[in-house]
Structure 1
């Protein structure tokens, strides 16, 4: 087997954690085909426990500790040089030296980069075949943040959106192929970076449908027996914070008027202060970290994804669909998912539609949408078939996506 360098911005484990699912399955897929040399950051002290597990999949590894607060402060220096905050945030001399030695000593001919800031470590190695998985257009997330925030944060986020887009375009020009999480995401980037349009493609996220299965006999975490509406996700991530605040403010009070015993559960690690404050409201529960999100999804009456800021495919939606739950989504949360509204999923475009949809599902005993949702995921979102596209690009002689 050939040697391959794989660079990831966060340790790709555990496999059931939203922002690591894609990078983990990539690692597993690559480990079956290459001697993988993994360079990655650890920004959560709890994640050091996974180091030995990840090492078993790799020929060699380098784990760089990252302090989020220190990195955030240091990255502000990019403003003085008109640089990219996201790139400086992940700048690390030790990782750079390890990459240089590994490429030299192992004769690396294939490189896969996960997330745009990690591209900085291999920009000077044009002889290797380089593929980047951007996943989402991160610069557009910053643009959306700028539109939602007041000055001076609106200025800061707008600056980062512009600088990061220029960097993303530069990376796409230098690499042999650039991948995204969905066809719409890839199409949008082609418009933003027309000079690289022939080398832009995508592969969809997948779901482990055996792990996210509806019939595993999960213990009901909702001990009061009241109908539960669930949202899952990392709760220090601002689009998720914005989503649950909007749901709690604009939708849930109207739902309670029709269903007085309805409960809204916000399930996810590291809830921000704004999210924790929601727990003081009647019927709203903030769990924080839970050992397994599946029982919360399996026993919920409705799963919701009321995202107003989003890019790419939402794993939380696919996972709830895989567990045969009816999911009510915003247009932003549906983007890139091949689900038919009204059959596989419920689409709500404004608060009134959201209230109506959630109320209807709380009143109904029909499981047709959940059944159709699981079938859709099983049919279209298997990891192996989606990841075959990455393998083809890494081995291709011509740079085409």
Structure 2
């Protein structure tokens, strides 16, 4: 089949969760189908990397990511129009023209919209099968729950309701939609009611075959948190850990270090304050070697949505994980068997110390975690299931 793929993210290099997911799915699709990719870049379109994409796609095009600050007029207009202000503020006429031109030239069997931001462009393509990949609804409700100030709660509640209405209207034009967890699937089915859209769970995964090259051989008393601080949920998690948890760990094991990966600015680092044993690794193209050399991966997340690739990557190389319940949300893993789970600062610190003090427990969790990922979260199996979903959706619409 000929597939027109529209992406919110330029997927190469695959150095964050969204890009990794896209690359694994495209790689699997490219084995059986002809792919044409149009995607927004995170930097200048002319400077994007595309060597690997060129081997998978018949054509690739990068576009500048649109966007402008929301004005008061934008917010007022949102009171009377159905399209969210954030969608209107990021509309790209250039991208829309490229999509319609590509569709007319290629006559694709299906259009894949990778994330909700590019769904409006997929709707421009007529007489084809449309599939929306990786829809998230829960994050809007989280913002409402996180805030206590009445005016902010009201604002986020209204935003969440508008977003749900917009998603419901959008999905009427799609044959199928994928989500990363059963919780997200329930939310989508609830808002779609009797609308005939197929909702499929396509979880995040890990590169099990590639991870087998790494052995869990940790540096003593070394913790790791993989994730750039530019993402608000990562910044909140690290601040929470450094201020409330790390001092409790260092009180018993003062030699303990924390590695933080990713591109982080001086301003973002300053927001963490000063702490002994803090190490910034900077950008690392493949962080699996660093994770495998860390005693424990800590995931003290309190907000965010989706499922955590960082947990799956750690378990795939055999590094034990301590996570909050929020951090392991949507993953079919058992606390105490595949990873340690704790929510309060004291409990999180104690779980981490228990692992640092008990080599046998670390090895037991290491083996169980690797087995769980290999069984349930291997990208090869997940991507194959996604390919089957695309093919079935097209064949159903044709028939």
What TM-score, normalized by structure 1, do the two folds share? 0.88
State the partner residue of 2:239.
245
- How is 1:233-272 mapped onto 2 (pairs within 5 angstroms)? 233-271=227-265
Q: Aligned match of 2:374 in 375, 378, 386?
A: 378
State the partner residue of 1:161.
160
State the partner residue of 1:148.
146
Deviation at 1:188, TM superposition (A): 2.7
- Whether the aligned pair in 2 keeps the contact of 1:207 and 1:319 (CA below 8 Å) is yes
- How is 1:217-366 mapped onto 2 (pairs within 5 angstroms)? 227-271=221-265, 273-278=267-272, 280-366=274-360
2: CA distance, partners of 1:157 / 1:186 = 22
- Whether the aligned pair in 1 keeps the contact of 2:7 and 2:40 (CA below 8 Å) is yes
2: CA distance, partners of 1:180 / 1:75 = 31
State the partner residue of 1:209.
208
Q: Secondary structure of the equivalent of 2:367?
A: helix
1: CA distance, partners of 2:327 / 2:265 = 20
Q: Aligned match of 1:79 in 75, 99, 104?
A: 75
- Is 2:190 the partner of 1:191? yes
Q: Between Structure 1 and Structure 2, how many residues are aligned?
A: 388
Deviation at 1:292, TM superposition (A): 3.2
1: CA distance, partners of 2:103 / 2:93 = 16
Deviation at 1:348, TM superposition (A): 1.0
Cα distance 1:186–1:198, how it changes in 2: closer, same or farther (>3 A)? same
2: CA distance, partners of 1:269 / 1:239 = 15
Instruction: Give the ranges of 4+ consecutive aligned residues of structure 1 lying more than 6 Å apart after TM superposition.
Output: 150-153
Cα distance 1:390–1:214, how it changes in 2: closer, same or farther (>3 A)? closer
Deviation at 1:275, TM superposition (A): 4.0
Structure 1 residues 141-150 or 240-249, which shifts more?
Answer: 141-150
Cα distance 1:342–1:245, how it changes in 2: closer, same or farther (>3 A)? same
- Whether the aligned pair in 2 keeps the contact of 1:245 and 1:275 (CA below 8 Å) is no
What TM-score, normalized by structure 2, do the two folds share? 0.88
Cα distance 1:284–1:150, how it changes in 2: closer, same or farther (>3 A)? farther
- Whether the aligned pair in 1 keeps the contact of 2:239 and 2:272 (CA below 8 Å) is yes
Deviation at 1:236, TM superposition (A): 0.6
Deviation at 1:184, TM superposition (A): 2.2
- Whether the aligned pair in 2 keeps the contact of 1:241 and 1:275 (CA below 8 Å) is no
- Whether the aligned pair in 2 keeps the contact of 1:236 and 1:272 (CA below 8 Å) is no
- Whether the aligned pair in 1 keeps the contact of 2:5 and 2:113 (CA below 8 Å) is yes
- Whether the aligned pair in 2 keeps the contact of 1:303 and 1:327 (CA below 8 Å) is yes
- Whether the aligned pair in 2 keeps the contact of 1:76 and 1:85 (CA below 8 Å) is no
Per-residue CA deviation, residues 172-217 of structure 1 (Å, 9 max, x unaligned), is 2221011101222212322233244752121112211233236359
